[in-house]
Homo-oligomer: A and B are copies of this chain.
């Protein structure tokens, strides 16, 4: 007899795969799914897996055991925490080759946050960036770029003032406007030659 709803079983399978993976740390075998979803044949599982794969709900490598993957599982990235950033001190710049060996600490993040970009992280020391909504102890994720587009949040080194600041970047008539995220704070105007972009902020993480 035909069991419950149509794709009910497939939903169950997806959930089971996720739970199994969370618990065990590796993907289930076809027979694991069979038992876990209370099916009595591997052929049933096989069939649903084929459908799910054609729908791009899962991925698997033929000929490889336990190779089922959920798309969002593939995207965790190891991010090196290079050091601490504070107003008045320059960001320690390292070649991206040496990142993974030099990093004091690393952070495991999902691609949803980094969006696949090659980033590094810095711990923020002090409240000098409070006007950019960045507090003491926060971690900022930076994409190492030298130039920025209008509206980007950047880590800028103010050469004359000898200060690093995190603000939104706007180019206006050869001058540069650095706009705090907090609209109640006033922007900084400076000459283009006075600033050096250290990186573009792609994310901020604060743990309490």
Which residues of A come within 8 Å of B, CB atoms?
15, 18, 22, 24-27, 29, 59, 61, 64-67, 69, 72-76, 78, 100-101, 106-110, 112-113, 115, 127, 130, 133-135, 152-153, 181-183, 201-208
Contacts and interface: CB of A to CB of B under 8 A. Distances in A.
> What is the count of identical protomers in the complex?
2
18 contacts: A25-B59, A26-B61, A26-B66, A26-B69, A27-B66, A29-B65, A64-B66, A65-B65, A76-B76, A76-B110, A108-B110, A108-B112, A109-B109, A110-B110, A204-B204, A204-B205, A204-B206, A204-B208
A29 B181 CA distance: 49
**What's the dominant secondary structure at chain A's contact region?**
mixed
Contacts of A15: 100-101
A190 B104 CA distance: 44
Contact of A181 (B27, B100, B115, B135): B135
